[in-house]
Amino acid sequence: MHFGSGSLTRCRDVLPSEFEFCSDLNTTRFLKRIIQAENPDFIAFTVSQINPSDDDPTKGALMTKIDGFGNYDLRVYGAPGSMLANSTVLNLFFLDSGDRAVYQGIRTYGWIKESQLHWLRRVSQEFQGQNEDSLHSTDGISTIKPPALAFFHIPIPEIPQLFYKEIVGQFQEGVACSRVNSGVLQTFVSMGDVKAVFIGHDHTNDFCGNLDGIWFCYGGGFGYHGYGKAGWPRRARIIQAELEKGKNSWMGVQRILTWKRLDDEKLSKIDEQILWQVR
């Protein structure tokens, strides 16, 4: 979701009939419409937004010491007043996939580093350990792993494999990933709690595909300042986590769904699917 200078920034890749009155304001209008329609509890951006100057020497010195400057985790607790009010029912992980880098003398896109994966494994294990006594069903107590979702910008090198597999959505451009495979997919599989991963970068891809039991989903291009495809509406991906209804209390997450909304007259809802559910 690239931003420029508001009404002064013209839209990219729109129909000729749309160009004259199209600007960054179309992006903010779409964002407002989506928020009003979906009333989300949380909004995650997996795309480039504001690119500050890289001239800051302090930032440059810091980035030589830290792999990723935006690695975060967020615990989602159970419904207030429920038996799980003080327990995690969903974990969210946000990873910095970098920008561009040079690998073996070749310029490539960034990748998630081993130090970040170490942090991810450690945090996941801590969350799971803290949640061992969570209630899951009305029949009693069971030790379960709350599902987790991950978010980052640049796709991993395995994503091109999905061109040959069944997907939900459209695969319209080549995957711009790093030449370096740092083992992100293997890490997610070994952790066991990550059920879906949400990525950006390739604006005209909006599909979900499954790799080793984990869904990888693009959101599709949202903003009008970034590149897109004329005649192909900008869009946003919606994620919904539904709680299980117990006899006397809300329980843990029962299933996770996703769909997309188009920036058309009706905010059309397309490609709804279930990403994960309790079995």
What is d(CA 260, CA 237) in angstroms, rounded to the nearest whole number?
Answer: 4
Query: What share of the chain in percent tops pLDDT 70?
Result: 85
pLDDT at site 129:
75
The dihedral sign for the CA sequence 49, 149, 112, 235: negative
The 10s digit of each residue's pLDDT in 51-106 is 444 445 544 554 555 555 679 999 999 999 999 999 999 999 999 999 899 999 99
Phi, psi (5° rounding) for residue 178? -75, 155
pLDDT at site 69:
60
Residue 112 φ/ψ region, left for φ over 0, alpha for ψ in the -120 to 50 degree band, beta for the rest: beta
Fold of the domain spanning 44-51+58-260+273-277: Transcription Regulator spoIIAA (3.30.750)
Task: Return the domain boundaries, the chain.
Answer: 44-51+58-260+273-277
Q: What is the DSSP letter of 12?
A: S
Q: For the CA atoms of the chain, what is the radius of gyration?
A: 20
pLDDT at site 47:
65
Give the residue ranges of the chain where pLDDT is below 50: 51-55, 58-59, 62, 135-142
Nearest to 187 by CA among 146, 145, 156: 156
Please give the C-alpha separations between residue 39 and each of 31, 131, 221, 263, in angstroms, as whole numbers. Answer: 11, 29, 20, 16
Burial class (CB in 10 A: 0-12, 13-18, 19+), 110: buried
Phi, psi (5° rounding) for residue 236? -140, 145
Inter-residue contact 115 to 71 (CB < 8 Å): no
pLDDT at site 191:
96
Nearest to 148 by CA among 78, 190, 89: 89
Please give the C-alpha separations between residue 103 and each of 64, 118, 182, 240, in angstroms, as whole numbers. Answer: 15, 21, 12, 38
Helix/strand/coil for 59: helix
Inter-residue contact 196 to 276 (CB < 8 Å): yes
What is d(CA 113, CA 118) in angstroms, rounded to the nearest whole number?
Answer: 9
What is d(CA 21, CA 170) in angstroms, rounded to the nearest whole number?
Answer: 28
Inter-residue contact 274 to 165 (CB < 8 Å): no
